[in-house]
Structures are given as structure tokens and as C-alpha cells.
Amino acid sequence: MAGLTAANKLYTSTTDFELYVVEGGSRIGGRIQSSEFCGDRIETGATWIHGIEGSPIYKIAQEESLLSSHQPWECMGGLSRNPVTLAEGGHHLSPSLVQPISTLFKNLIKSIEGKPVDDAFSETVELCAGGNVTVGSFLRKGFEVYVGKGESKLLEEGVFAMLENTHRGLTAVDDLETLDCATEREYKMFPGEEITIARGYSQVIESLASVLPEGTIQLGRRVQKIEWHDGSAVELHFSDGSCLSADHVIVTVSLGVLKHGASSMFEPPLPSSKIGAISRLGFGVLNKVFLELPPSHDHCEFPFMQMVFHPTNSEQRDPNIPDWIRRTCWFYPIYRNSRVVLSWFAGKEAIEIESLSEDEITNGFSTTASNLLSSKLKFENVLRTQWSTDPLFLGSYSHVPVGSSGDDMDTLSEPLPQTKLKILFAGEATHRTHYGTTHGAFISGLREANRLLKHYNISVAE
């Protein structure tokens, strides 16, 4: 997204540049990849437009007529506003139990984000405030204050743990204790509803690439080293032994790739300040598992399910439900009456499912769904994403953990050298307030293209 956005902007602004987009893989789009599963359009990477008011992604989707399709697509009706909450053992939890805990959680998150909370929760929030606290500890303290310390409320605890897992999925972290409340307040979202793209997120990428001349995009060219010695051109060295010289290079590889190889990728090495920023910033893993309901199952009856599990020390735990599934929270049809159901995994469980066999995944979900629905169910086909082991990405998206700050993202975004702009950096991890999003990647690509245009005194259209 960032690289193609920059190339699009540069090409449409001037004919003075000779442009190349070099891509290590066999396709464009990076962590955006639309696909099909059992006849339905799905997203194996980025899924949502996070707020439509002011979003550049939404603008492109509108202009390119991407928001409607005759073919069904993932979350075409949005997420259900009336999920069914099922607890291990087949217990249907009443909204009267779930809703107060859910409202509490939403208000605690609003407080973390620096937004006003409902009057009913202001005292709870005040009692949690003070000191440098993590997101995890703040949420837990809020729960304890609300339900009363020392009281045994296992169902409320289970519901709250489910909501914590929801937030782990949104942030792609393994443990909410790694997130700092203070830095979370810098994160911004565009206003308005969150939607998916009917014709597929990849069509946004195709739109950006469509203006570029044939031959501009070069696939299968994996960069191994970038030489940027003073007084000479930047040299890109590829895995096949070939080289490419350039006056400027915009680096848009993922933070995961930088964490893995930045120390050896650049010659001379990156400044210690940039290496430090790369080291301190967080890069999480989020994976999706799509499963097909069997023909014998009435897919019209499969609910949008929120899953609540017994705690580790409970004697009521079903030993047949695998541990890797106990820290996910949602399990739902990708649209109403679809035969395809979806679940999300973050952190170490997201990494673990990448190494499981397809039979292990289908059996695990079949056992879990049968337990929760009190009805025998056997899933058939499965498709799971594997972002942590893909060498071109090594994860999903960035976050700002304890010990880091938005300053590290600013440092990562700084060009080298500042005056000559030999190497520029773009990508979602370089945007201080919109990290972890496609629009953050888009905006960062525009930022670096504009930086180059201004460097050559070329007027920049807003």
C-alpha cells in the first residue's frame, strides 16, 4: 500500500522521475490480499476501512465503485449487533449478564483513549486512574472495582476475559500488559462506520497501480542489501544477484522484516537511533481461520458467536477443547447465512495455528462448536492465514509497547540523510497516530512522495 501510493503520487505529479516498484513476492499489495473460499470473497489480510469520514481508502473505494458487488463478501452486513454469547458446556448467557460487563469494558477503553465515559462509570474510571499503568492492568483494575474485590463471579470474569481477547485481536498483541495506556491515547481513528470493501481490498491496490506504466512494477525481486554510501547512488542488491541503482529509495518493508534484518540489510548500517526505534516498537501477529460448514448443517442457524471459556483452574473445563482456541473470542458466519465461518487469533495462538495441520484445526473447531452449541458439528474445508512465518512480512501490524512511544515511529520515518533523502521510510509503522491501518500506510506513502517532490521544488497538490 505505502509503496504503490508513493509511486502513484510521484508518477501523477511529474514526468521527471524514472520510477520502479520492486516487490519481493509474486503479487502486489503486501498485507492486503483478497481471495475466495468456498465461493465467497474473503480477505486474508487487511479487512476493514476503519472509519469512512475522511478516509482516503474509502474515497478510492467510492470513486472506483468498489462498495457494492453481486458476489457475497466478508462481513457485507458488518459485524452483528446482537451476538449470541455461549459459555463452555453449552450455556447461553443472558444479555442481562453480558451487556453490563460489555458496557463497562467499552467505557474503560474510552477512558484509555482519552474519550469521555458514561456517567455511570466515571467513579470506576477515577478509582483506576493514576501512575504509569498498562492497558491490561487498567482493564483488570476496572473490572475488580466494578464487580467488587474478592467476590466470586465466574461468569462475569469469563465475559470480561472474552472482551480482553477481543482487544488483543484488535491490537494484535499477545498480552495487553505490553501496551502503555499513555501511548494508546495518541492512536486515532477516522469518524464514521467501519466497513469492508465489496469487490475486495485488493481492488484498491489495483486502482493505485493502474496508472503506472508497464514495467514499473517488478515482481519477484527480493532485496537483500541496500548500499547508500555518501557521494554515490543507492544500490539495491537482489537475491538473484542482480542490482539496481537509484537516486532515492522509499523502503516500505514491514516492521517485522526490519526487526529481523535491519542490522544487516543496510550498508552503512542504520543510525543507532533508528535501530533502537525498530527494536522498541512492537509488531504483532493476527491470523484468521475460515472454515466451511458441512452440507448437512443448516447454515441459516449458525449464530454470530461470542465464546466464553472456563478458567485454567476450573474442573468444568472440557479437556477436548484445545488450549489454542481458548483465547479467541469470535466465531461467526462471514455474512448472514454464509456457509463460511471465521475466527481470529492474536499473539502466540496466532503463531501456533500456523504450525497445526488442517485436521488439527478442523477437529479443534468441531469439538469446540459442538460443545458450545450442544449439537454435533464437523467442519470440512479450512483456510488459515500464516503472516508470522511469511518471510516477506513476519507478522501483521505494529503497536507501541511499554518502553516505546510515538517518538520511535517518528524516528523510524526520518529519511537518511536528512538533506539528500537517499533512503526514505514509509509504511503503517511509520505513522504516529494511524499505525496498524491501511490508511496509515497510505498516508505515509503520500508523505514520502511529497517529501521527494518538495526536495526537487515540484509543487505538491493537496
Percent of the chain at pLDDT > 70 equals 97
Q: Residue 152: what pLDDT?
A: 53
Percent of the chain at pLDDT > 90 equals 81
Q: Residue 131: what pLDDT?
A: 67
The SS3 of residue 253 is coil
Of the candidates 252, 263, 259, 262, the one whose C-alpha atom is nearest the C-alpha of residue 388 is 259
Q: Residue 133: what pLDDT?
A: 82
**79 falls in which pLDDT band (50, 70, 90)?**
confident
Cell of 20: 520502479
Beta bridge partners of 250: 424
Q: Hey, what amino acid is at 110?
A: K
What is the rounded end-to-end Cα distance, in angstroms, of the chain? 19
**105 falls in which pLDDT band (50, 70, 90)?**
very high
| pTM of the predicted model as reported, rounded to 2 decimal places | 0.94
Task: Assess contact for 398 and 429: CB atoms under 8 A.
Answer: yes
pLDDT per residue over 14-56, tens digit each? Answer: 988 999 999 999 999 999 999 999 989 999 999 999 999 999 9
Distance CA 327, CA 173 (A): 12
Cβ neighbours around 203 below 10 Å, total: 19
| Residues making up the chain, counted from first to last | 462
Q: How does the average pLDDT of the chain come out, rounded?
A: 93
Distance CA 277, CA 121 (A): 37
DSSP string, 189-244: --SS--B--TT-THHHHHHHHTTSPTTSEE-S--EEEEE--TTS-EEEEETTS-EE
Q: For residue 417, say if its preceding peptide bond is cis, omega within 30 degrees of 0.
A: yes
Higher pLDDT, 230 or 221: 221
Of the candidates 304, 212, 262, the one whose C-alpha atom is nearest the C-alpha of residue 416 is 262
Q: Residue 132: what pLDDT?
A: 66
pLDDT per residue over 209-225, tens digit each? Answer: 999 999 999 999 999 99
Parallel, antiparallel or unpaired: strands 234-238 and 223-227: antiparallel
Give every CB contact of residue 23 below 8 A, 6+ residues apart in sequence: 3, 217, 218, 219, 220, 221
Of the candidates 308, 303, 314, 340, the one whose C-alpha atom is nearest the C-alpha of residue 327 is 308
